[in-house]
Structure 1
Amino acid sequence: MLFTVTRASVRGGAHRPPGHVVARRTGPLAGTVGPMPAPSSLQSALAWYAHRPILRAVVPGIILLGLGLGLFGAMYDAVDERDDFSLLDQPVLEFLVAARSDLATSALAALTFVTGPTVLPIIVLVSCVVWGRVRREWWRPCCSPGR
């Protein structure tokens, strides 16, 4: 360890006031380096934020909501004016049509059928009943489809 941090004695001294924080070199260069710097305003703000769990839960959601709304507005504007991103629509569609295969089309058709409004609710119901029977508790399986 190259540094140790200590506080000066309570009565202070000729060169240091009481409570003065001092970093001392413990390696080959021994001696007092000077007072530790005061925490910056960013460190103080982060410490304040760290002790507020509600803010830590809400602020990221608000930031993501703002970013999502901004991206939605930009995309809506581009499609409405037929410029920017919407210019890529036709070339990407043509590429996907040219690159598709029968296997990929069949696989995605099956995926669409399974995750559709007819089959997926049946899968969820059966899995929740099995879960409830195995675990012998019903409140979690009953809450799960609502997620």
Structure 2
Amino acid sequence: MQLCDAIHNKLLEKNRESQLIYNTMEHSKGLCSQIVKSQKETVTLEAKWIEVRKRRMELKETCTKVLAELRAMKESENNFFAQMDDGKIRKINKYIAKEIDIVTVIQNVFQRLILGSSVNWAEDPKLKEIVLKLGQNPASS
């Protein structure tokens, strides 16, 4: 108390020492304001950081769930194909190969009809597109 009273009396004197004390107090007050401001910013940033960590954990949990679902789907797909007997698979593959052969023959016939006619298919954009599409392998498209 005595110290505060002595500083108060010194400030009232209005001399060089009182001015230095006043400037020091103002500087201290400014520093305290900056500290309080920095502490508030720190609290705000920490809250944001905690929120980001929570969202990151939620995303990690979501990714884990999705990966588990994908694994389950893959296993069920593998089980489905394992349950299918080889006879069905061979039959399906045979049917697909037969259809590809038929489409290839039809493509070749149309391509030869266009090329065999005296039409300049290279100048007609629609015919050019058709001829180029007919030249593609049906198994790859």
TM-score by length of 2: 0.29
Q: Which has the higher contact order (CA 8 A, sep 6+)?
A: 2
Q: Which has the larger radius of gyration?
A: 2
1 or 2, which has the higher strand percentage?
1
1 or 2, which has the higher helix percentage?
2
TM-score by length of 1: 0.28
